[in-house]
Structure formats: C-alpha cells, structure tokens
Amino acid sequence: MTLTPFQTGQVRQGAVGNDAGWTITFHRETPTGLSPDVALTLTSADYYAAIDAALPDGLGPGAYTVTVQGLIDEHFAALRTAEGQPPLVAKLHLYWRDANTSVGAFFTNLVGVNAGPTPAELTQALVAVLRVTKVRRLTGERTYDTELTLVEQAYARLGQRVAQRFEAATFNAAVQTIAQRTGVDITTWGANPDGTMTRGATEAAGDERAAFGAGLLYRAALERIGGAVQQSLNAYGRGMLLIRDGTVHVGKRPIPYPEGEPKPLTLATGLLACTENGSQDTDPYAATEAGGTAAPRRRAWTLTLKGRPDLKPGDLVRFDPPATDEATTLGSVGAALLGSFAAPFAPSTGELGAGAKLLYLSAARHTLSRTAGFVTVVQGVEVAAAAQAWDSWSDASGVAAAEPAGPTSSPGVAAADAVRRAARAARGETRGLEIGEVRAAATNASGAVEPPAQTETVWEGLVRPDGRPNGARRLPVRREQPAPLPGVTYLTPFAWGGCGLILPRYPGTRVALAYRNGAPDDPVDVGALWPTGHAPVSEPGDWWLSLPVGVASTSRSSIGDTVTPADHDGKVAHDLTDGDGNRVIELGELTVRVGRAQLKGRGQRPARADEADSITIEHAAGGSSIVMKQDGSITITATQIDLDAGNGAVNISGGTVSIAADDVDVQVGNAMNVH
C-alpha cells in the first residue's frame, strides 16, 4: 500500500513537515451527543487562520481561539447560533500535509503538498472537541476576520447542575450516572470488579457510597470523586481527571496514555528548545528523622517544538536535556518553525543519548498562523520511569499503624515542619479547617506567664486521607513528623476581662482548628470532637457533662512526644439532664458558698470546703453552713435555726435525741404525749 505524505506523517509518530494544515468540522449538539451531520467544514485549503489551542490539564476548560481571514457571509451565518438553537460544537484537527520521513523527503516536500486528509485521517489528527462560546467579526488587514472563542465541550456539558439528588453505591456507578445525565463520554480507570475505585477490599459494601444534592455542578461531583480516589490510592501529582479528545478520564489512567512507549523528541521530530523551570515537590510532607532531608523533587521543563499536534497532557515523552554549558535552543527556532530552507533543521537520525529524560506532559499549547508557523509548547515534570510517574505522600497511611513520633525539637521534625509550611507558602495555600491533637495545655497555675494561660500546643493534621468520607473523626492524628502549633487559643462561649468559661483540654483531646483569614500561622481551636469508637453512649435528648476524675497529675497538662494518648479508664463526674427533664449530678465533692462580700476577684480560684468528700452549703458572711459528710452525718451550723411546718407534722426519730440549751421553752396548744 502506498501512503500519502499525510498518512506517512501520522503513522510515523512525531514526523514533522513544512506545510501545516488544519480542519474544523462543526456539528450541532443534541440531547444525546453530537449530530452526525456536519453543519460546516472550514479548512486550510480554503482560508488562512490563526489558531491558538491551549489544552487543559485536568478538568479545565482550556483556552482556544481561532481567527479566520476573509470568512464569507454564508459560512459566517452558519457559525451563528440563534436563540433557542442548540450549541455549536467544533472538532479541531491539526496536522502536517507533508512529512519529513527522510532527508530526501525533507527537501522534496519544501514546496508543500496540498492533498486534503480523508475522514479516517482526520480522526488521527483530532486535537480537541470544543464548544463555540463566542463568534464575532473583526477588522482585518485586507478583509473582515472572524474570531471564534471555544472551550472544551466536556467541560461545558459538565457545567450543568444536578436537577434531582442521586446516590450511588460506588464511585464507578456515580460516574456512569453523571455520564448518562450529561451526555459526556467518560472513561473510568482502575475500577474493581465490584465497581469500587478505592482500595480496601475487606471493607463493608457501601463504604464508597456517594450522594450529590440538587444544584451541585456535575463538574464538582467528578472533582470530589477524583479527589477521593487520589487520596485512597496515594497517587498525586498527575491528577485523577483528564480531558482528551472529548473524553473525560477518571481514575489512575495508564502512563503513557493510552499505552505504548514514550514519544521520542529529537531534532528530527520537532524539538527546538529546552528550558528548565525549576522543580516541583513530590512529597511536601516528607523529611527523614536522621538528616531532615526533604523528598526528591521533580525537575520541570518547557519544550518548544515545530508543530506536534499529537502531544497532549497525559503523554510521556523522552528527550535529551542540553548540557549545562550549552544554549537551550537547538538551531534557529524562528526559521525552523516557518519551514525556511535556510533553517538548520534537517532531520537527524533521531537517536537519543544515554542521558535522555522522561517527561510527563501537564500542559500543551499549539499555535498556528501564516506568519509565525506551527509551534507546539509543552510543559511537564521529569519522571524516573513510567511506573513511577505518580507521586506518593510518605505520611502514614490511613490503614497502617502510625510510627511513634520523634521529639518535636529534633532537627528532622523541625525540617519536616519547615518543608510543609514552605510548600504551603509556595502554593499560596490558605487553610480552612484542620483537625489536630492537644499535646500540652497551659493553665499557668504555677504563676508562669509563658505560654499564655488558656492556650495549647496542638499537633496539626491527620494522616494522609484514604478517600473515605468523615476523615475528621476516623483518621488517626499524624504522629510521624508532627507539625506542632504552640500558643493556640481555644474558642469558649464567654471570655472577657479575665473572666469567662474555662474548658478542660487534656492532652490527647482531638480538636478542630480554624485559621483566621486562612493564615496557616494563626489557628484557633474551635471545638473538640470524638474519634470514631471513642464517644460515650447516651440516650436521645441527653444534656450530659462528664469529666474524668483522677487523671494522673503528670498527664493533665502535657505528655511526652513519644506518648500515644489512651482513653480515660477511671471514674467520671457527671451532670446529666435527660429528655424527660430529670437532672442527675454525681460528684466527688460539692461546695456551695454564698456571700457577696466574700466573692473572690477575677482569676482567683475558689477554695474547696474544709470537709473532704462532703456536700457543703455555706453562707460565708453569716458563718452558717450545712455539711453532709462522707460518714452519713449532717452538721448544721447557724446563728438561729427555725423549723416551721405550718399545719404539717415535724417528725424527729433516732436512737438518741439530745437537747442541750440554756433554756427550753415548749408551748403546746392541745396535748403533749410522752411515752
């Protein structure tokens, strides 16, 4: 079989030429997809155009503009969408109409080949499936220009809102429901036979259940699923969502996509310039205890090529980086892009050196015009191998036991904390709500002034998410390489002028941290919460305050860095009001003291009564008191005691009744019986 120059260029992956071509076919959208009928076809055989196509990374809209010179009125009218008409969808194809398959072909094809591609060939040259969002006419150099603005069709379709709430037992089922409702082609990767997409084969059915309420964007629903899968698989950096050729990919897709070997980039296959753009974190949470060394970083590169429309986000390429003492540009970029005979761009053998690097492409931009030629610019990060393209966080897994923490003052932990915070600052990260664990609480009972009273030292953060919901109560606190936050204040219902409601914060208390204005260095403890399996059992309607009794004095205000707190296994004081209005108070001792003049000043802790393990009610000013002692006796002390039962009876019984007084006055209205 004889291949046309177009076919040869497409089959020989990466071959570039000198005669760039483009074709855009337009279709009307239908409720189930695209109309098979082509409403309009524009090609480079009929018009000059300037095309700028920035393909999205992830589930983004991309940025696409097409400016066609001298578009006739008939074609312009076909591009307009009247009110009530379905949107117009464009399939963008870019290609070389000739191809440099050999040195001889390079010189033979300098004049270009004008044969148009067949429909089958166009399928190979598809760059994106787009929705036309704006069409307008501009004044050009000689004629009117027509400018089209476009976004990814899948992105636009996923911009619909959920009309009716729906649930799904697995993420895969949820994705299929979204695909059915939006008419978007969605492919899932890594689904288990039961439809689940997250790890944990031993977990009960329904653990992956997803529910999406009315009004939510379908796009946001997919992003939630992608985030959960990413966390569960501990696979970061490359994203679990990707739009390619009009299809949305959800899950841990193969790299390189869809399969095969990395694409070689050489001078013969269009590579013109290599620019290193610093590096990216592979694990912002990693640091070793011994040396405080952060995890390896991936070098980032920008590559400029003569038009390579086959390169898209998600691809894996191989290239030779320039030596450090060499220029990053290979030959005359401008001349080579224009296909100039004078450009030093004759094809080479395409052999890569031993030091060739693998690059995962996270961004691709194709620009084509009659004055600037056909240019492709890609960006990405180095990977050691295709199997190692995904980043993993070194933090403890949500299903594995956490390692004991080293001292928070050690160099390794300090380095880990610095790496984490530097990563946040570099990303411009603002914090919302985080979970932490109290490790020390300052009451300043000893008279110290630092740290301030009623503040805490909190270990911030839980172990890496596992993709399951309700991680705030389920996931263990991160104890390996902890992030200590000293001087954290806590929220209380009342705090003013040295007065207020003081709440206990025992070491080991799980608390929610909010960050003022999103600043990572300004947290506030806004409340405590029970981890799963550690909450007390109550009855509906209970208002119940229970406080631990007899906690060891060495564990009340702080615990060691290597200590994992355990639940309280001693006795508890209770104040319970149930749903029927009954109140039960159980205490070790109770003192009620009345007397305005004897009230303590602010910040002065009230003293216990002298009688231990008793109930004492006293009026400090008058010196009167009632003491119910541990041995069962009751002592009433007063300057005067009056008993008045009205017309009722007063009964006094006991083994012995003793009365000692200076005078005894007994008044009887009717009779007095003595037995």
Contacts of residue 39, defined as CB under 8 A and 6 or more positions apart, other chains included, come to 26, 27, 28, 78, 88
Amino acid identity of residue 668, one-letter, is V
Pair of tokens at residue 129 = 């499936």
Crossing angle (nearest 10°) for helices 218-233 and 171-182? 160
Check pLDDT > 50 for residue 104. Answer: no
Residue type, position 289, single letter = E
d(CA 616, CA 618) in angstroms, rounded, equals 6
pLDDT over threshold 60, residue 398 = no
> For the sheet containing 615-619, what is the strand order?
590-594, 615-619, 624-628, 634-637
Residue entry with tokens 């305005």:
596
User: What number is the average pLDDT over the span 481-496?
Assistant: 89
Listing DSSP states for 343-378 in one string gives SS---------TT-EEEEEEEEEEEEETTTEEEEEE
Report the chain's terminal Cα–Cα distance, integer Å: 134
Q: Is the pLDDT of residue 448 over 80?
A: no
Tell me the average pLDDT across 474-498. 89
Q: Which amino acid is at 630?
A: Q
The average confidence (pLDDT) of the chain is: 82
402 pLDDT above the threshold of 60: no
Name the phi and psi angles at 223, rounded to 5: -65, -35
Higher-pLDDT residue of 204 and 134 is: 134
What is the predicted pLDDT for the residue at 521? 80
Instruction: Give me the percent of the chain exceeding a pLDDT of 70.
Output: 83
Q: Are 585 and 601 in contact (CB under 8 A)?
A: no
Give tens-digit pLDDT for 46-97: 999 999 999 998 999 999 999 999 999 999 999 988 778 899 999 999 999 8
List of E strands, 579-654: 583-586, 590-594, 615-619, 624-628, 634-637
Chosen CATH of 430-583 out of 1.10.10, 2.40.50, 2.10.260, 2.40.30? 2.40.50
% the chain with pLDDT above 90? 47
User: Would you list the domain boundaries of the chain?
Assistant: 5-157, 166-251, 263-388, 430-583, 590-637
pTM of the model: 0.67
pLDDT-wise least confident of 1-5, 317-321, 616-620: 1-5
pLDDT at 660 > cutoff 80? yes
